[in-house]
A and B are shown apart, each in its own frame.
Chain A
Amino acid sequence: MPDRTSRSTTDRMPVRKTYKLFIGGAFPRSESGRSYEVTDVKGRFLANAAHASRKDARDAVQAARKAFPGWSGATAYNRGQVLYRVAELLEGRRAQFAEDVRAGEGGSARAAAAAVDAAIDRWVWYAGWADKIASVTGSANPVAGPYFDFSVPEPTGVVAVLAPQQSSLLGLVSVVAPVIVSGNTCVVTSSSGRPLPAITLAEVLATSDVPGGVVNVLTGQLADTAPTLASHMDVNAVDLAGAAGDPELSTRLEVAAADNLKRVLRAPAAEPDWRAEPGMERMLRFLETKTVWHPIGV
């Protein structure tokens, strides 16, 4: 397992890492060329992460838009299989995730391992919804006329997701999985101070069967990318989870999002306990209902 800290028990000098962004299935540097130091809870150096600019946000939206027809057009069963496969890969990286989580969030090794397990379980739980959500939220409607009438859920489109600032893996999985399971594609801004689990998740997704562009990960400061994403006319919805506890920022983002009538999942007053049962709320927010009237006997 690589040693991310500068501490070393041997004479060997650890390789210091400078991570990049994850856009369209590739790992480009930030267009701005900037990066910033990520430290652990005690302020020790962990790695350099890319500092995404608004142009990176634009590129990520473009990549997500390009990936949308393929991902939303895949069968629900296929999407579920692809996400289960991601869970397998997450399982294989448990130790690395636990180390990332513990370095960023502090606490005991046992607590970090529990958070990773909960995150993987959450991913599997959402993966199972892929081919069930249409049955649960869709309906055959009895109408007063010679028609078959049914309502089916469809993905909203490109969703900008501001991942939680505190819970760097469980929180991240809890906001990304419900968005993509139904066929949306997303641009995720990771926790600013604790981006490593998001970067490792990007590495997992890059080697999984998830098509490039379905999940795009931006690291850096929320203030640099979030306003661009919120005002972008080609983004269909925005989840403000990462702006929890910052009413000034979240209000500003809601105003920016109003221009093209984006769906907005508002920021809570404080970051919730992500260990709680998630319910269907986060999936339902990013679905549109299509109702079809089909004449009988034609």
Chain B
Amino acid sequence: MVTTTAVPTLASGPGGLDLAGITASESSLRRFLHGLPGVDQVGAEARVATLSTRSIKTTAKAWAIDLAISMIDLTTLEGQDTPGKVRALCAKARRPDPADPTAPQVAAICVYPDLVEVAAAALAGSGVKVASVATSFPSGRAALPVKLADVRAGVAAGADEIDMVIDRGAFLSGHYLAVLDEIVAVKAACGDAHLKVILETGELSTYDNVRRASWLAILAGGDFIKTSTGKVAPAATLPVTLVMLEAVRDFRDATGRQVGVKPAGGIRTSKDAIRYLVVVNETAGDDWLDPDWFRIGASSLLNDLLMQRTKLTTGRYSGPDYFTLD
């Protein structure tokens, strides 16, 4: 069963894991990660399929839509991004629906490091956070000093959150300690900024690997674990998010520290977003139903949520003509 607690044998007595012991050496880390119970693939997929059939209507739907809007990391990560485009997106983040001031703000704007300054200036005083991808996003193929310089530049420009990518090559070839050390170094470079660790689950092949990578990122001190860069297919999926939510739930049970989860990429419709919220609630619990602990990385999703919101308030279906192109 997928919902079994993952760490019973590894707790060093009541009250927690022996974190220092686990991360002491390559072999102890491997022993821990490979000692995690395997993910029942069929079970995980069946579980999300069941949860996806939940019917969320009327007032519950209105609540879920507003919550989903407030959890969005409104993202633009294209080579063709310009300061003007980022400023337009920031205006949208502050007030997603110009026709309806009751629509909540999004959680954050997510941009490349060189555009953080533009976003931070445009969002000053709004409460919307600025997130910056870093560490040679999306491939992560650069020397560590280069990655750390990337992070420091983002933080110095005003980023509240840093989205780093793990070294999938090192992870897949079993060099877990190298991955861990890199995350620790990036976390140190972040200073006060929150660190989101992108696992790029589309390249990890199996749910077992997703579970191991999740634990690795959490052990290294990540504040959030994030599914994907959005540049690799498949991006976020419900079963992958389920496995990651189990990891953060079990970690909090074992240590008391709460870690957030962020699916990103491929979530385009309100229906998808609400399914994610259901999985969050049923897996990790409603402590995670909060923009501080669950985010959705998306761009086109916001317009669909706003259209659904307009449908609920006016009673008629809305169209894309009435919302911004982005």
Chain A: residues with CB nearer than 8 A to chain B?
Answer: 58, 61, 65, 228, 231-235, 256, 259-260
Contacts and interface: CB of A to CB of B under 8 A. Distances in A.
A234 B318 contact: yes
Contact of A231 (B316, B320, B321, B322): B316
B191 interface: no
Main secondary structure of the interface of B (DSSP, over half): loop
Nearest to A231: B316
Nearest to A229: B317
B98 interface: no
B316 A234 contact: no
Contacts of A233: 316-319, 321-322
A58 B317 contact: yes
21 contacts: A58-B317, A61-B317, A65-B319, A228-B316, A228-B317, A231-B316, A231-B317, A232-B316, A232-B319, A233-B316, A233-B317, A233-B318, A233-B319, A233-B321, A234-B317, A234-B318, A234-B319, A234-B321, A235-B319, A259-B316, A260-B319
A232 B311 CA distance: 10
A231 B315 CA distance: 9
Contacts of B317: 58, 61, 228, 231-234
A260 B320 CA distance: 13
A260 B318 CA distance: 10
B222 to A, nearest CB: 39
Contacts of A228: 316-317
A228 B319 CA distance: 13
Interface string B288-326: 000000000000000000000000000111111110000
Contacts of A231: 315-317
Contacts, number: 27
Q: Which 4 A-B pairs have the closest CB atoms?
A: A234-B319, A231-B316, A233-B319, A232-B317
Nearest to B317: A232
Interface residues of B, number: 8
Contacts of B322: 233
Contact of B320 (A232, A234, A256, A259): A234
A29 B317 CA distance: 21
Given A233-B318, A234-B320, 16 more contacts: A58-B317, A61-B317, A65-B319, A228-B316, A228-B317, A231-B316, A232-B316, A232-B317, A233-B316, A233-B319, A233-B321, A233-B322, A234-B318, A234-B319, A234-B321, A235-B319
Most buried by A among B315, B317, B320: B317
Nearest to A228: B317
A225 to B, nearest CB: 12
Nearest to B316: A231
Contacts of B318: 233-234
A137 B307 CA distance: 36
Nearest to B315: A231
A234 B315 CA distance: 14
A116 B205 CA distance: 58
A234 B320 CA distance: 7
B269 to A, nearest CB: 11
A14 B317 CA distance: 42
Contacts of A65: 319-320
A107 B317 CA distance: 41
A256 B322 CA distance: 17
B321 A256 contact: no
Contacts of A235: 319
A256 B320 CA distance: 19
A220 B320 CA distance: 27
Nearest to A234: B319
Nearest to B310: A233
B306 to A, nearest CB: 12
Nearest to A54: B317
Contacts of A58: 317
B107 to A, nearest CB: 28
Nearest to A232: B317
A224 to B, nearest CB: 14
B21 to A, nearest CB: 55
B270 to A, nearest CB: 13
Most buried by A among B315, B316, B320: B316
B274 to A, nearest CB: 16
A9 B312 CA distance: 54
B316 A256 contact: yes
Contacts of A259: 316
B126 to A, nearest CB: 29
B307 to A, nearest CB: 9
Nearest to B318: A233
A235 B318 CA distance: 9
A61 B317 CA distance: 10
Contacts of A260: 319
A233 B323 CA distance: 12
A174 B291 CA distance: 54
B201 to A, nearest CB: 29
A235 B317 CA distance: 10
A101 to B, nearest CB: 34
Contacts of B316: 228, 231-233, 256, 259
Interface string B27-66: 0000000000000000000000000000000000000000
Nearest to A157: B321
A61 B319 CA distance: 10
A231 B314 CA distance: 10
Nearest to A230: B316
A231 B320 CA distance: 15
A234 B316 CA distance: 10
A252 to B, nearest CB: 13
A260 B322 CA distance: 10
